[in-house]
Structure 1
Amino acid sequence: MLATSETVEILDQSEQLGKLVSGSDVYERYLQAKQDMERDREAQRLIRAFQDSKTQYEEVERFGRYHPDYNQIMKAVRQKKRDMDMNDYVAAYKVAERELQKLLDELSQIIAGSISPQIKVPKDGAVFQDTGGGCGCGSGGGCGCS
């Protein structure tokens, strides 16, 4: 790709947009929630406990229901995730993270829509969503899920 003046202009505008996002209240709340969560010993203990149980789950998952500890490990993973999610700092971080993701999704949607309504944009954790009013499931609207 050759660096044309148009390319340089687009890169400059992208950098400005990035600075606006990193200066936003949404981003500041996200950073604060992340720092609070990282500083809280109980939150960190719960996160580590969940990660440890996930490691056990991955070992059991290879064998599925046939593993002798399958039910016990599955229950433990769900319980540790619930415990982690119920921590105030983890919950606040997840809310702030979703708000930041929503802002980034909206920006992506606006940028894509300014080019063409047919451009598909990643949104809400989905790989692609149809921005042209279709259902987004890939069936071309034939399924009726729109």
Structure 2
Amino acid sequence: MIGTLEYVEILDHSEKLGKMVLESDVMEAYTQSKIALNQDEEAKKLIKAFNDMKSHYEDIQRFGRYHPDYNEIMKKVRYTKREMDMHEKVASFKIAERNLQKLLDEISQYVALSVSEQVKAPKDGAAFTDSGCGCGSGGACGCAS
């Protein structure tokens, strides 16, 4: 019975924490920048152009440098990404997204450390990256754990 009441209390606190995040200035900035991005036709075109170019990039990745259009596609991908990233609404959204991720990481870290020093929590957006070794195996290779 006590375990059940403790779980209910933990869930109540979790809901309160979630509500605090949803009502935060950081979340408000994220929401506003996302709305502004979704309403900007030029930004939509730039995002679509980048996604189309990215699909070409994925096609040539099977062959790598040996693909005849490798250098041209690589230049175009970098150019379209830069063009997209330099757009005011896209840049604002990315900043707001990073700030929200930072807030969520800080909360995760705080909760984890309140349980134990040994509990691991995502840090610096690490939930969306591999182990950092660069091989993409998530640390299974043993080069970083």
**TM-score > 0.5 by shorter chain:** yes
Q: Normalised by the size of structure 2, how large is the TM-score? A: 0.84
Q: Normalised by the size of structure 1, how large is the TM-score? A: 0.84
Q: Counterpart amino acid of 2:98?
A: R
CA RMSD of aligned residues (A): 1.6
Distance 1:126 1:29 in 2: 22
Counterpart position of 2:48:
48
8 Å contact 2:102–2:125 — kept in the other structure?
no
Following TM superposition, the consecutive aligned residue runs of length 4 or more in structure 1 with deviations greater than 6 angstroms are none
Counterpart position of 1:27:
27
8 Å contact 2:105–2:125 — kept in the other structure?
no
Which structure dedicates a bigger proportion of its chain to strand? 1
Q: Tell me by how many angstroms 1:107 deviates.
A: 0.4
Distance 2:99 2:126 in 1: 16
Identity %: 59
Report how many residues are paired: 129
Map of 1:97-108 to 2, 5 A cutoff? 97-108=97-108
Q: Secondary structure at the match of 1:93?
A: helix
Unmatched 5+ stretches in structure 1:
130-136, 139-146
Counterpart position of 1:64:
64
Which structure dedicates a bigger proportion of its chain to helix? 2
